[in-house]
Amino acid sequence: MNQILGQLLTANIFVLAMVFCRLGSAMILMPGIGESVIPARFRLLFGLVLTLVLAPVVAGQIPPLPPDVASLFLLLGGEIFVGLFIGTVMRIMMTALDVAATIMSDINGLASASIFNPLLSSQGSAIGVFLSGLALVLLFVTGLHEQIIRAMVDSYGLIVPGKLPPLGDFSQTVVEFTSRSFMLGFQLAAPTMVIITLMMVGLGVIARLVPQLQVFFVSQPLQIGAGLVILLVGLPTMMLTFMSALSEALTLLLQPR
């Protein structure tokens, strides 16, 4: 009887370890939860709680306990790799805001106005820090964090534990989502690029017609002011587009390749 109970306990611990390796490693890079401003102990506690909640749901997809230690470490390492892959893909999509903010800062004349970004623990543009913080707020307000957790659970149906991860599909997915992220960043910054470019062309024509006018002193405050107005007016549409793209990325991530 004691031997049977010991085997059951060992099997349950193995299931929890397998689930925690995938979920915990994904939490390190997951938007909103894996930010550097969140203490590591809180992220660890959240990962443990999430593991306890989701382990019974995915327990049927966990392979049996391997007979030797080497196979055990291979299984755990594979789950850590899969979790890091999922977190990396979602983090790549978040960089679309940084791309858009960098383009807008450059064309608005605010490229040198860099401040500390607590989400990335590095220097960033003021617009980028604002957009990143706003995106995290919307992530939880709209309930998209629940979709992220649901996607991690659904990943067990696509990437079965105990089997060799499809490295080719992983590489293709990373390249595809990197391309989508850069394209999304350019789309978000497109209104600012078009309007500011047209405005600068108009100022160039005025400079040719009125050579006495100091265009530089006129264009700089006008350029900054127009950029901020465009950002303020287009902010709802911009964030709605980004959140829709992030939700679509979660759906595409779990589609068979």
Percentage of the chain with pLDDT > 70?
A: 87
Tokens 């979602």 locate to 90
| Segment 112-122, tens digit of pLDDT | 666 666 666 66
Neighbours of 160 (CB within 10 A): 14
Q: What is the pLDDT of residues 27-86, one digit of tens each?
A: 888 877 777 777 777 877 888 888 888 888 887 778 777 777 788 888 888 888 888 888
Can you tell me the mean pLDDT for 153-160? 79
- pLDDT, residue 167, reads 77
**Band of the pLDDT at 255, cuts 50, 70, 90?**
low
Q: Indicate whether 5 pLDDT > 60.
A: no
Q: Please tell me the predicted confidence (pLDDT) of residue 4.
A: 41
Say how far residue 189 (Cα) sits from the centre of its chain: 18
Instruction: Name the maximum alpha-carbon separation found in the chain.
Output: 98
The confidence score (pLDDT) of residue 55 equals 81
| Residue-level pLDDT at 249 | 82
Are the beta carbons of 249 and 89 closer than 8 angstroms? yes
Query: CA 64, CA 195: separation in Å to the nearest integer?
Result: 60
Least reliable range by pLDDT among 138-152, 161-175, 204-218, 232-246: 204-218
Q: What is the DSSP letter of 255?
A: S
3-class DSSP state of 31:
coil
pLDDT digits (tens, 9 = 90+) for 91-107: 888 888 888 888 888 88
Q: What percent of the chain has pLDDT over 90?
A: 0
- Would you say 114 and 126 are in contact if contact means Cβ atoms under 8 Å apart? yes
Residue from 147, 145, 172 nearest 256 by CA: 172
End-to-end Cα spacing for the chain? 46
Q: Is 173 exposed, middle or buried (0-12, 13-18, 19+ CB in 10 A)?
A: buried
Render 53-88 in DSSP notation, one character per residue. Answer: HHHHHHGGGSPPPPSSHHHHHHHHHHHHHHHHHHHH
Residue 143's SS3 state is: coil
CB 139 within 8 A of CB 91: no
Q: Averaged over 9-31, what is the pLDDT?
A: 78
Q: Look at residue 250 and tell me whether its pLDDT is greater than 50.
A: yes
* pLDDT (tens digit per residue) in 129-153: 788 888 888 888 888 878 888 888 8
Q: What is the per-residue pLDDT for 221?
A: 78
Beta carbons of 155 and 132 less than 8 angstroms apart: no
Q: State residue 7's pLDDT score.
A: 43
How far is the C-alpha of 135 from the C-alpha of 184, rounded, in Å?
14
Helix or strand or coil: residue 142?
Answer: coil
Write down the pTM of the prediction. Answer: 0.79
